[in-house]
Structure 1
Amino acid sequence: MRRTTAAGLVVGALIALGSALPASAATQSTAQLSVLHAIPDTPVDVYVNGERTLDDFQPGTLAGPLSLPAGNYEVALTAPDAADASAPILGPATVSLAAGGDYTAVAHLTEAGEPGLNVFTNDISTTAPGQGRLTVRHVAAAPAVDVLASGSPVISGLTNPNEQTLDLPAGTVSAAVALAGTTDPVLGPQDVAVQDGALTVLYAWGSAEEGNLAIAAQTITGLHSNPDGVPSGTAGYAAVQRDSEILLAGAALIGVALIIGAVSATVAIRRQKIRR
């Protein structure tokens, strides 16, 4: 892990303050972006537009969401010790973000086992009362799979790098992943909570050949309309983090103010001693 500079801390604080804004403060010119690292045994650095954004990013880790201006971004993945993005192990690839959209960029293995990068659009449209949304994404080095619920296929023939989405009654579903046309799970079964008014995304990632298949999960809340009928939209699962982020940001600002006050008091005392 590289040493963090004072400038880096300032930039990080600005990003944290930006992401801590309430959903009502977001403009229609921004998009939400999360990043999932789903390439086994391969820590990476993530570069966006030539700048290192994620350092020593570990497999199975989900980062974000971050509010970004709509537009095109060049993303590249390098070895953790790379000095820059001139020799990426994946990319560079262009990621296009539309205003008001919610996206997850996934670095993963193709069906053939080669590194790949895909950007998925998260369906944050309003769900019916009492219902939640479940999306399954196949990003593993594995052939087509079926998704089973209580032993029966509810999604059939899902291939890498595709997805399928279902709106379901809120509750718990016992889900498993099997090779297409079979019922012998290669992943699971696992209890999955389908939350009222939330999008739950399951990622099947890893390699069947290497025996390291795994499931990653992402939850985006706020899919119901609020009392005045306006969907929460891109508030997403960041909403559950933002109250604490605001408190942390406020505490940080108070801390800075206290430090500045203490330094000013010390300087004043020293000046008085000099004058004496």
Structure 2
Amino acid sequence: MRKTLSAAVTTACGAALLTTALPAAAATTDDGAGMASLSVLHGVPELTVDVYVNGDLTLDDFAPGDLAGPLDLAPGDYELAVTAADAADASEPVIGPVDVTLEGGTSYTAAAHLDADGQPTATAFVNDTSMLEAGQGRLTVRHIAAAPAVDVWADGAVAIEGLTNPDEKSLELPAGTIEAAVSVSGETDPVLGPTDVTVTEGAATVVYAWGSAEDGSLALATQAIEGMHSAPEGVPTGTTQVPGEQQQGLWLAVGGGLAALLAGGVLMARRQVASSRV
């Protein structure tokens, strides 16, 4: 009974997140009007899943730290289900299926991650694609880790102070390479880094701090968003999974839905383990 109730509660939470509208993009261009530019970051530790859209496998073995996309997508309605990794099909989903809608005219990254207390959650970030002055690049830091407020250091000095989950902060800097590190706010010893980060002229470099400080799983993920003087096009770095041309329409469901369902899936798994111990 407890297992069934946990599943029902988790599904309800996932559906509530899915029906929450994603924030609108700051601007669109003539080339991209009516389309959505989408990337998805998996920042929930210890959860690898398969994602099915309209009954078709769209993301296989989507693992923590993976950044998928970006794609320019037409708006529409799709059915999404998340299964255990390597499931034969979508007939026994971990959560779902649910119907989701993605509206056009957005440029964003959807992240499944942990909140400051270590609970699974989801955040949709609007990517700032506003124009940059010649010789300048944009550095954005997003705190999506189960960790307290942090300070972000650049070349040995605090550049961003007291950043909390799930907030972000952007800086416009001269193009070049900086040595970046992250420390607990008010302290000097780094919990992440130092590491070299390239600030590219006419582009945005987005750095995500994800994972859990308590579990020792803190990590960094990076995303590059190019074309500040034209139609924006995100180019993720690190491990990336991009579906083929025939699957591009299926990616509509991933934006709002995948982040929420990943969060719901790990919560369900935790509750099922707890139920089995009773």
TM-score interval, normalised by the smaller of the two chains? 0.5 to 0.7
Q: Do the aligned residues in 2 keep the contact of 1:72 with 1:97 (CA within 8 Å)?
A: no
Residue 97 (structure 1) shift: 4.1
**CA gap 1:84/1:210 in 2 versus in 1, 3 angstroms:** same
Q: Do the aligned residues in 2 keep the contact of 1:177 with 1:189 (CA within 8 Å)?
A: yes
Q: Which has the larger radius of gyration?
A: 1
Residue 192 (structure 1) shift: 0.5
2:173 to 153, 168, 171: 168
Aligned to 2:12: none
Hey, what's the Cα distance between the residues in 1 that align with 2:163 and 2:144? 10
The reply on whether 1:235 has 2:233 as its aligned counterpart is yes
**CA gap 1:58/1:153 in 2 versus in 1, 3 angstroms:** same
The reply on whether 1:215 has 2:216 as its aligned counterpart is no
RMSD over equivalenced CA pairs, Å: 3.0
| Unaligned residue ranges in structure 1 (runs of 5+) | 1-23, 226-231, 239-244, 250-276
Q: Do the aligned residues in 2 keep the contact of 1:151 with 1:183 (CA within 8 Å)?
A: no
Higher helix share: 1
TM-score normalised to the size of structure 2?
Answer: 0.66
**CA gap 1:42/1:236 in 2 versus in 1, 3 angstroms:** closer
| 1:144-183 Cα shifts (integer Å, max 9, x gaps) | 1110112321111111111111111101111100011111
Q: Do the aligned residues in 2 keep the contact of 1:37 with 1:108 (CA within 8 Å)?
A: yes
**CA gap 1:175/1:78 in 2 versus in 1, 3 angstroms:** same
SS of alignment partner, residue 235 of structure 2: helix
Aligned to 2:192: 187
Aligned to 2:42: 37
Hey, what's the Cα distance between the residues in 2 that align with 1:213 and 1:222? 30
SS of alignment partner, residue 232 of structure 2: helix
Residue 84 (structure 1) shift: 2.8
| Unaligned residue ranges in structure 2 (runs of 5+) | 1-28, 237-241, 246-278
**Corresponding residue pairs, total:** 210
Residue 184 (structure 1) shift: 1.1
Q: Do the aligned residues in 1 keep the contact of 2:75 with 2:101 (CA within 8 Å)?
A: no
**CA gap 1:104/1:53 in 2 versus in 1, 3 angstroms:** same
2:90 to 84, 89, 114: 84
**Residues 19-98 of structure 1: pairs in structure 2 closer than 5 A:** 26-48=31-53, 52-70=57-75, 77-82=82-87, 83-84=89-90, 87-88=93-94, 96-98=102-104
